[in-house]
Amino acid sequence: MSDIKIITAPDILHTTELSFLLIQPSKIIKDQFQDLISNFDSTMHVYLFEKDTNDQVEWLLAAFHKSDIVIIDIDNSSPTIRALAGFFLSKDKTYWLTKSTDSYYNIISKNQIFGLDYLTNILGGKLENK
């Protein structure tokens, strides 16, 4: 079993453990993420961003820079987060989900995933490197 710390605004941890950022995940994505990380025996930090008040958007940007892997659920995102999506998607560490087929996000990033099971191989490599 992993040692998992859930971090929410306004907290930031300054450590070297593998860190995830979940940006406005749906209940389904949260459940998939829980199933995914239950397969690993490593210390992990999970930054969880669910609301987008002004002070929390600043925290979101700080958590983004601290995270190794970012997962954004675009379909569940607020207009504020969608406005920032281009920035997040321009980074290789960001994986994103949407059911939309008419999306310009594919031009910015090829890291579209259709479920968190796609991250198993990516996670395996990250855990070995940490």
Mind listing the domains of the chain with CATH numbers?
Answer: 4-123 (3.40.50.450)
**Residues contacting 16, CB < 8 A, separation 6+:** 130
The pair phi, psi for residue 122, each rounded to 5°, is -65, -45
**pLDDT-above-90 percentage for the chain:** 45
**pLDDT of 51:** 81
Provide the CB-side half-sphere exposure for 69 (13 A, CA): 23
> What separation in angstroms does the CA of 55 have from each of 5, 9, 40, 100?
22, 9, 33, 29
- The residue written with tokens 């949260």 in the block is 30
**pLDDT-above-70 percentage for the chain:** 87
Query: Within 10 A of 112 (CB to CB), how many other CB atoms are there?
Result: 15
Q: What is the pLDDT of residues 97-122, one digit of tens each?
A: 888 766 777 677 888 787 777 777 66
Q: What is the pLDDT of residues 22-41, one digit of tens each?
A: 999 999 999 989 888 887 77
Rounded Cα distance, 93 and 82, in Å: 17
Which tokens go with 40? Answer: 């690993």
Range from 4-13, 48-57, 103-112 carrying the lowest mean pLDDT? 103-112
Strand partners, 44: 4, 18
* pTM for the structure as a whole: 0.86
Q: What is the mean pLDDT of the chain?
A: 85
**pLDDT of 36:** 84
Contact call for residues 96 and 74 (beta carbons, < 8 A): yes
Provide the CB-side half-sphere exposure for 36 (13 A, CA): 21
Range from 18-27, 59-68, 96-105 carrying the lowest mean pLDDT? 96-105
